[in-house]
Amino acid sequence: MATNLEDWDHAHGFLLGAALPLVLTPPGSGLPPRPRLRGVVRVDDEHSRLALSHDPSMATGVAVELSLPSLYRDGCLHDVDAVLAYVRTTMAARLDPAAQDTTLRRDSHANALIALSDAERAQAFTAVLPEQELFRLFNLLHHGPMQMSVQDVYTFTGFMLRADQRCRIYVRLTDTRTSYGLEIPLRTSGGDSIFGIGASFGQELAMKLGCDGRLFEPVVDDADEYCKLVYDLQSWVNPPQD
């Protein structure tokens, strides 16, 4: 568990960054609409709130209070994506009843206040969505934090979501302008979302490509019109478990 303000500041900053893309409203899909993100706020040193709403006018909402120290396990920040996904999906059914519950306390923005329990936080990993990790990975690849040594080797040029929960990432070598596709899995063989791709992927890729401009990974496609060839990074991103 976190034991100082610096850790809790880091947890809130990570939560804020993970929630920012949810400000965009996804196009209609015919499915019941998910609640929109209304706000992310810091309550005090140890607590933050995620405010969501089904109100088109954004005049009311429900704010889910999170304990920042509880986002740490074994001294490391782990649970932000899981908690965010749980609040967006599994807790969504609680939002309308909470918004209408006159016994709940409201903040100054007319948000009904509810807390995420320890039991709910323990269930949160079942709700993680692969696109949360993809957003972080793409953000890091596109504009940092990237070291100059990485940019000297390659640039991130795009992506394409593929069948079977896979994504093809495109990069272009700086020296030769050769483009490669890098196919990664979004879920494990057991169906769970893969965590932690974005943390070191960019730097490791630069180290591997920086030797001779190619990867020692299986080639799965040399007919992709957007690149010279495609490497399969299954064993790199999701190595077999002993």
Write out pLDDT tens, residues 105-136. Answer: 999 999 999 998 878 877 766 656 677 677 77
Sign of the alpha-carbon torsion through 119, 123, 125, 127: negative
- Asked, as a colleague might, if the bond just before 240 is cis with ω within 30 of 0, I would say no
CA distance 223 to 231: 12
- What local confidence, expressed as pLDDT, does residue 1 receive? 47
Residue 147 exposure: Cα atoms within 13 Å on the Cβ side: 10
CA distance 44 to 81: 21
Helix ranges restricted to H, 174-239: 197-212, 234-237
User: How does pLDDT run across 141-188, given as a tens digit for each residue?
Assistant: 776 555 556 668 888 888 888 888 889 999 989 889 899 999 998 887
The tokens describing 179, both together, are: 């483009």
pTM assigned to the model: 0.68
Show me where the domains of the chain are located: 5-127, 130-237
The answer to whether residue 227 scores a pLDDT higher than 80 is yes
Contact 50, 87 (CB under 8 A): yes
Contact 69, 48 (CB under 8 A): no
The answer to whether residue 30 scores a pLDDT higher than 70 is no
Q: What is the mean pLDDT of residues 14-21?
A: 82
CA distance 171 to 155: 5
